[in-house]
A and B are shown apart, each in its own frame.
Chain A
Amino acid sequence: MSILENSISQIHSLLKNKEIKVSELVQESFGRIEATDNKVQAFLALNQEKAPKRAQQIEQEITELEDAEDLPILAGIPAGIKDNICTMGMPTTCGSRILEGYIPPYSATVMKRLHAAGAVPMGKLNMDEFAMGSSTENSAYQITRNPWNLDYVPGGSSGGSAASVAAGQVVFALGSDTGGSIRQPAAYCGVVGLKPTYGLVSRFGLVAYASSLDQIGPLTRNVEDTADVLQAIAGYDEQDSTSADVTVPNYRDALTGDIKGLKIAVAKEYMGEGIDPQVRAVIQKAIDQLAALGAEIEEVSLPHTEYALASYYLIAPAEASSNLARYDGVKYGIRADGAKDLLDMYKKTRSQGFGEEVKRRIMVGTYALSSGYYDAYYLKAQKVRTLIKQDFDKVFEKYDLIVGPTAPTTAFKIGEKTADPLTMYLNDICTIPINLAGLPAISIPCGFVDGLPVGLQLIGKAFAESTILQASYAYEQATQFYKQRPVL
């Protein structure tokens, strides 16, 4: 078995006891990427020059440590980074032609925190362009494939991150989640994906898609690793004006395996029509398992769920149209040739640089914000958002968690939904309401349908990541689905 298949804490012990070297880990990660990425196509750029140097540096630090207990938990751990997280000295394209060749002059706060914790960035991972999509087919560079079946999508927009972790190329990856972009690919690829509470993890250096919804989070192969990565990246950052000044607990303390008396709600809207019956059966079995572990399960209603999609597909494109106005061929990225004046340069650059899905969302957003339509679309959508948030607040007065499926189906075939954007949008129905309310949620492996993984989603109160991790860990330890790996 590859060393990379171990949990972060197991690798940490091996490093601490000097049974393995960081350089071996990094070499093994590069070897696995070389052996599998021609099939999976998860990586857009490899950190081939700097990663071995970083490994040597960490090895030196380990040698100089007086007390091995002081070794940070992520020291030497190979990590993959979604390509919308700014990484100084490494390309950051957001899966878009318009940012081709862009090398940020600074690093995102999460990258600084990973650096401080000793993680080794192995490269940048593929994604739907500017995080817009649910399949990673919208990347301008390549289509990432699902490691469980290469004819299927890995989900999106953090498809590269989920596929890379599932394929065993890296131990963990960072993704970003605006409407489900960590959880849905985690479900499709059979890995753990956590979208933290809005504001818990700094967005400084995350290329913005929809600023009031975006959040960075980890993708890992087990819940324990998620706790360790979250610990490293969570916390207040004065460089992010939307960062929450809250105390970060010790997430490992939550991994007790005990959930007796935990009050868990099942939202009937997440288990009804539109959810594939086979997926529903797997989720029901998972809920029964949580009950067998001692949780109290009751059905509840989130009555405004059916309005979430409409609200999201006005708010997110509106924010996107504003955020993406900065790509004009002046300060970074590509510039179209042959423009007759400045306005012509803006238009030519943006038209050549953006892909179809991005143009579509910019158009929707510009329309929703334009004179005469602002109140009817954008403001109304923000009011509906309040109602959706109130639904959750009400349920969380009585319950600790809400559970349901992460996605209505398992992964779909590559090309199956590209012709009709609306069918693709419907795919995010179980995840979008959580982003609108800013809540934390996780997707964990809970079974298979026709050889493709199913994800169980656990939603918590704001900043109650510990409760989510507690229940996820107990379920994971009882079922062991996380140990299954795709054959590549």
Chain B
Amino acid sequence: MSITIKEVEHVANLARLQLSEQEQEKFTGQLNSILHLAEKINELSTDDVEPTSHVLDIKNVMRKDEVVPSLPREEALRNAPSNEDGHFKVPPIIE
């Protein structure tokens, strides 16, 4: 299977990346090489194998339902590139 420049453009859009034409071309070649390497896993039959998404036998962690102090709002907003009236500020979504 090989990935086309059109697919690279589509994946970039999904990944919220804007690639220049030069980058699209470069990534098409490189992604093909990486995916070619990845194809190696198809040499193995894994029909009866369970996937391992996590090496530990983990359970959901629930804290006690108690009111505890959280990060103050001004602290949470301090690193934001733009904020106003206690909110993160972003460009308009609708006109």
Interfacial residues, chain A to chain B (CB-CB below 8 A) = 101-103, 105-106, 198-199, 212, 238, 241-242, 244, 304, 306-307, 309-311, 313-314, 321, 325, 328-335, 339-348, 350-351, 354, 359-360, 362-364, 366-368, 370, 376-377, 379-387, 389, 421-422, 425, 436-438, 462
Given contacts A199-B56, A310-B39, A437-B55, 16 further A-B contacts (CB under 8 A): A101-B79, A105-B71, A199-B55, A314-B38, A314-B41, A330-B81, A331-B88, A332-B79, A341-B92, A354-B17, A360-B31, A363-B12, A377-B35, A383-B49, A421-B30, A421-B34
Nearest CB on B from A286, distance (A) = 28
B contacts with A, residue count (CB < 8 A): 52
| Contacts A105-B71, A330-B88, A387-B44; A310 near B31 (Cβ below 8 A) | no
| Contacts A307-B44, A380-B46; A331 near B79 (Cβ below 8 A) | yes
Q: Which residues of A contact B92 (CB under 8 A)?
A: 341-342
Nearest CB on B from A198, distance (A) = 5
Nearest CB on A from B63, distance (A) = 7
Give the CA-CA distance A48 to B70 in the complex, in Å: 29
The answer on a CB contact under 8 Å between A310 and B38 is yes
Q: Which of A333, A344, A387, A422 contacts B46 (CB 8 A)?
A: A387
The answer on a CB contact under 8 Å between A380 and B41 is yes
| Contacts A241-B58, A383-B46; A370 near B11 (Cβ below 8 A) | yes
Q: Does B75 contact A (CB under 8 A)?
A: yes
Q: Which residues of B contact A343 (CB under 8 A)?
A: 16
Q: Does B90 contact A (CB under 8 A)?
A: yes
Nearest CB on B from A377, distance (A) = 6
CB neighbors of A among B1-45 (8 A): 3, 7-8, 11-12, 14-19, 23, 27, 30-31, 33-35, 37-44
Closest to B14 in A: A366
Nearest CB on B from A436, distance (A) = 8
Closest to A329 in B: B81
| Contacts A313-B34, A363-B27; A385 near B11 (Cβ below 8 A) | no
Interface SS, A side: helix
Give the CA-CA distance A244 to B54 in the complex, in Å: 12
Q: Which of B11, B42, B61, B81 contacts A363 (CB 8 A)?
A: B11
Closest to A104 in B: B79
Q: Which residues of B contact A362 (CB under 8 A)?
A: 15, 17
The answer on a CB contact under 8 Å between A381 and B34 is no
The answer on a CB contact under 8 Å between A105 and B55 is no
The answer on a CB contact under 8 Å between A335 and B82 is yes
Give the CA-CA distance A431 to B26 in the complex, in Å: 28
Q: Which of B14, B18, B79 contacts A370 (CB 8 A)?
A: B14
Q: Which residues of A contact B67 (CB under 8 A)?
A: none
Nearest CB on B from A482, distance (A) = 30
Give the CA-CA distance A210 to B90 in the complex, in Å: 28
| Contacts A238-B61, A242-B56; A350 near B17 (Cβ below 8 A) | yes
The answer on a CB contact under 8 Å between A366 and B11 is yes
Give the CA-CA distance A93 to B37 in the complex, in Å: 31
Closest to B58 in A: A242
The answer on a CB contact under 8 Å between B55 and A382 is no
Q: Which residues of B contact A386 (CB under 8 A)?
A: 46, 49-52
Q: Which residues of A contact B75 (CB under 8 A)?
A: 105
